[in-house]
């Protein structure tokens, strides 16, 4: 069992096996790879956490509400021989983001990778039906949260700030290309902002040891559709996909972990579609 920590208003459950130290180094003195995944308690975030753990990353699991799912995921990461912590934080709130990164610093060590996965949709609506509360929530979580987390990651990774480099992967959406008319143009616009953000940040930090890329999933079988009031959306949309099926969270995670890896060492500013051809 891990211990329950409460620090500066953030609850987290952490467990650090004795074979490694909080500095993020193993007994041989080798620097450990540490990844923070926002919105990691389910779907693509959870699949990415497990893929990263299999590749030797220690994992910080960020969540907002589902503490049990986050704890279960962290336990799976530890079962794969890696360290894991769970940190409750709303990425749309700057104070939460600061506490999130402070928790990673204190419990795991120096961050080497960030996956900006946290995101929301809403119920289908036309633009002329959308209220400002919906729009503020959509852009605060999907765009502002990614900016704030990337800012803190750059402050730790950039050689300009004394860091050793690293990689950032942002989660976009095929909706950024398609516009999502009659569904959620606001979500599509937020993800379009992520595409532009990815390109700009990648060029900004290209000489500072940081690679920044994005993955643009299409119709993926996850429970984000249920949160938007359409639990069967993936199955209903599958016939419109050239491959005639929805994708899986694991298939998106494979693209994310490749972009984090040294195999993608000359790839930055890229946005990779994982959409079955849609």
Catalytically annotated residues: 187
Nearest alpha carbon to residue 227 among 131, 123, 133: 123
Place of tokens 């929301």: 120
Where residue 211 falls (left for φ over 0; alpha for ψ -120 to 50; beta otherwise) is beta
Q: Single out the residue of 111, 110, 122, 100 nearest to residue 39, CA to CA.
A: 100
Q: Order across the sheet with 10-15: list the strands.
A: 3-7, 10-15, 84-88, 57-63, 33-37, 113-116, 166-171, 210-217, 271-274
CA distances from 80 to 34, 59, 74, 254 (A): 15, 11, 10, 17
What phi and psi, each to the nearest 5 degrees, are found at residue 207?
Answer: -95, 10
CB neighbour list of residue 187: distance below 8 Å, 6 or more residues apart: 120, 121, 122, 138, 142, 173, 175, 180
Half-sphere exposure of 135 (CA within 13 A, CB side): 10
Closest CA to 127 of 184, 175, 174, 187: 184
3-state secondary structure of 202: helix
């Amino acid at each position: 069992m891990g211990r329950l920590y409460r620090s500066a208003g953030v609850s987290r459950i952490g467990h650090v096996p004795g074979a490694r130290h909080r500095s993020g180094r193993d007994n041989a003195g080798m620097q450990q790879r540490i990844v923070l995944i926002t919105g990691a308690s389910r779907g693509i975030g959870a699949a990415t956490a497990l893929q990263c753990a299999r590749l030797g990353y220690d994992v910080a699991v960020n969540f907002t509400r589902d503490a049990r799912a986050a704890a279960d995921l962290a336990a799976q990461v530890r079962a794969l021989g890696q360290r894991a912590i769970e940190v409750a934080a709303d990425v749309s709130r700057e104070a939460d983001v600061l506490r999130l990164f402070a928790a990673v610093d204190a419990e795991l060590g120096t961050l080497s990778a960030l996956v900006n996965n946290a995101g929301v949709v809403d119920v289908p609506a036309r633009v002329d039906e959308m209220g400002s509360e919906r729009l503020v929530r959509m852009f605060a979580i999907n765009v502002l949260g990614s900016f704030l987390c990337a800012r803190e990651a750059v402050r730790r990774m950039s050689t300009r700030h004394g860091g050793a480099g690293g990689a950032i992967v942002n989660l976009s959406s095929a909706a950024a290309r398609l516009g999502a008319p009659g569904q959620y143009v606001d979500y599509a616009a937020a993800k379009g902002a992520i595409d532009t953000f990815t390109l700009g940040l990648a060029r900004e930090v290209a000489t500072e040891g940081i690679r920044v890329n994005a993955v643009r999933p299409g119709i993926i079988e996850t429970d984000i559709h249920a949160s938007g009031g359409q639990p069967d959306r993936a199955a209903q949309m599958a016939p419109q996909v050239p491959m005639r099926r929805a994708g899986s969270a694991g298939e998106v995670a494979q693209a994310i972990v490749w972009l984090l890896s040294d195999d993608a060492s000359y790839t930055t500013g890229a946005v990779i579609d994982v959409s079955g051809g849609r």
